């Protein structure tokens, strides 16, 4: 079965849902396809306190509201979809979904997001949202006056650690090497902060606690000594993985695997746009994803009308 839409959006995170709201409200026949459940990484945030105009709530609740709004304008959403084939370089874009058939569109927005790089430990998974976080801006103020840990040694890790020090009583920065990979200015700023202390050449081996995180366990890579570091919170900053592997031979990616876009969020493929955490950008927040979804949708509309 082949069904045609004006626009198809791949991904139902905040960028994809926002794009769907804008497109469908413009009376464009719009389809959102997601390989999981709508909401993306947003649904993993138990408390969101910095979404403008919205009192503190859960990411899942914001996702539900976005889905309801998109559907109210006539946007169709297919979740838990297994995408078997994509054709994006032709004028008619084509997406084939297992057990659903083939869907075509005149424009397509890639909003597949990405995920923070994890340590891959079972105990890390157990304490996600229970002390372990990957976003200082999202969750830093929940640890005001507490002792926390930050893991990583690049620019983002040190910059975020300095940011966390505005809230926490103490931030212990743990890094796997005996030197930082960050730029000298970032290292200097971190070392000058009296709320930061550093534990170098450490392998993080696990996390312990009861209903919430209590300890970060490390092993000294030189001596083999084991440390149990008291911590009510742990922020992991060891990189970010964009969900773009399926597009690597189709649209232009940078050396980090992010989709390269122009100011209109257009890719190098005519009629294909990108929005959200999968594209080349520095700041990744729900609000920036929503902004991307808005721009991509309005640009896609202009493209359909021959104005772009």
- Catalytically annotated residue among 34, 106, 138, 277: 138
pTM above 0.85, yes or no: no
Give the DSSP H or E segment for 274. Answer: strand 272-274
d(CA 274, CA 246): 14
Write out the DSSP string of 78-135.
E-S--EEEEE-SSSSEEEEETTTEEEEEEEEEE---EEE-----HHHHHTBTTTEES-
- Give the CATH number for residue 298: 3.50.50.60
- Catalytically annotated residue among 6, 34, 106, 139: 139
**Cβ partners under 8 Å of residue 245, min gap 6:** 257
d(CA 149, CA 145): 13
Could you tell me the residue range of the domain that residue 109 belongs to?
2-115+240-304
What does the pLDDT look like over 82-116, one tens digit per residue? 999 999 999 999 999 999 999 999 999 999 999 88
Of 225, 224, 178, nearest in space to 201 by CA: 178
Instruction: List the helix and strand counts (H, then E) for the chain.
Output: 7, 17
Find out whether 50 and 101 touch, Cβ atoms under 8 Å: no
Together in a domain, 104 and 153 = no
Q: Which residues pair with 163 in a beta bridge?
A: none
d(CA 174, CA 151): 5
Last residue of a domain, one of 208, 236, 264: 236
Together in a domain, 213 and 248 = no
Q: Which residue has the higher pLDDT, 41 or 85?
A: 85
Together in a domain, 244 and 100 = yes
d(CA 142, CA 150): 15
Find out whether 232 and 143 touch, Cβ atoms under 8 Å: yes
Pairing of strands 76-78, 196-199: unpaired
d(CA 59, CA 15): 14
| Known catalytic membership, residue 292 | no
Together in a domain, 13 and 111 = yes
Whole-number pLDDT of residue 283: 85
- Catalytically annotated residue among 34, 75, 106, 135: 135
Together in a domain, 128 and 272 = no
Which residue do the tokens 């000294």 mark? 220
- 123 Rama sector, left if φ>0, alpha if ψ -120 to 50, beta otherwise: alpha
Together in a domain, 89 and 7 = yes
Whole-number pLDDT of residue 78: 96
Whole-number pLDDT of residue 46: 64
Domain count, the chain: 2
Instruction: State mean pLDDT over 132-147.
Output: 90
| Known catalytic membership, residue 6 | no
Lowest mean pLDDT among 143-147, 153-157, 257-261: 153-157
Whole-number pLDDT of residue 44: 67
E strands within 21-75? Answer: 30-33
Instruction: State mean pLDDT over 60-85.
Output: 95
Together in a domain, 178 and 193 = yes
> Nearest 5°: phi and psi at 171?
-120, 120
Last residue of a domain, one of 236, 251, 274: 236
Find out whether 30 and 75 touch, Cβ atoms under 8 Å: yes
| Known catalytic membership, residue 135 | yes
Of 97, 155, 108, 110, nearest in space to 253 by CA: 110
At 59, the pLDDT band (50, 70, 90 cuts) reads confident
What does the pLDDT look like over 230-252, one tens digit per residue? 999 999 999 889 999 999 999 99
At 1, the pLDDT band (50, 70, 90 cuts) reads low
C-alpha neighbours within 13 Å on the C-beta side of residue 178: 4
DSSP-derived 3-state class of residue 33: strand
> Nearest 5°: phi and psi at 293?
-60, -40
Q: What is the mean pLDDT of the chain?
A: 94
At 136, the pLDDT band (50, 70, 90 cuts) reads confident
Instruction: State mean pLDDT over 129-155.
Output: 92
Whole-number pLDDT of residue 42: 84
Of 3, 70, 63, 61, nearest in space to 32 by CA: 70
């Amino acid at each position: 079965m082949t069904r045609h839409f004006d626009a198809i959006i791949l991904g139902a995170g905040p960028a994809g849902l926002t794009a769907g709201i804008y497109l469908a409200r413009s009376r464009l026949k719009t389809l959102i396809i997601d390989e999981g459940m709508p909401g993306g990484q947003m649904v993993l945030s138990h408390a969101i306190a910095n979404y403008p105009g919205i009192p503190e709530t859960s990411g899942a609740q914001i996702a539900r509201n976005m889905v309801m709004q998109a559907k109210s304008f006539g946007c169709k959403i297919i979740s838990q979809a297994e995408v078997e084939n994509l054709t994006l370089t032709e004028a008619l874009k084509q997406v084939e979904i297992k057990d659903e058939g083939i869907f075509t569109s005149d424009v397509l927005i890639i909003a597949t997001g990405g995920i923070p790089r994890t340590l891959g430990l079972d105990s890390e998974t157990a304490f996600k949202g229970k002390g372990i976080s990957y976003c200082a801006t999202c969750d830093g103020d929940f640890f005001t006056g507490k002792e926390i840990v930050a893991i990583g040694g690049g620019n983002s890790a040190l910059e975020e650690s300095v940011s966390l020090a505005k809230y926490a009583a103490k931030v212990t920065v743990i890094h796997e090497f005996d030197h930082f990979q960050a730029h000298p200015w970032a290292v200097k700023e971190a070392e000058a902060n009296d709320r930061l202390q550093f534990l170098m050449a450490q392998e993080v081996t696990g996390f312990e606690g009861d209903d919430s995180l209590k300890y970060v366990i490390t092993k000294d890579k030189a001596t083999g000594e084991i440390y149990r570091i008291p911590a009510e919170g742990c922020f992991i900053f060891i990189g970010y993985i964009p969900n773009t592997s399926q597009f690597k031979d189709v649209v232009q990616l940078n050396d980090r695997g992010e989709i390269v876009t122009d100011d209109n969020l257009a890719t190098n493929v005519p009629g294909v746009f990108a929005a959200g955490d999968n594209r080349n950008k520095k700041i990744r927040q729900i609000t920036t994803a929503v902004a991307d979804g808005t721009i991509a949708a309005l640009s896609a509309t202009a493209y359909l009308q021959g104005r772009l």
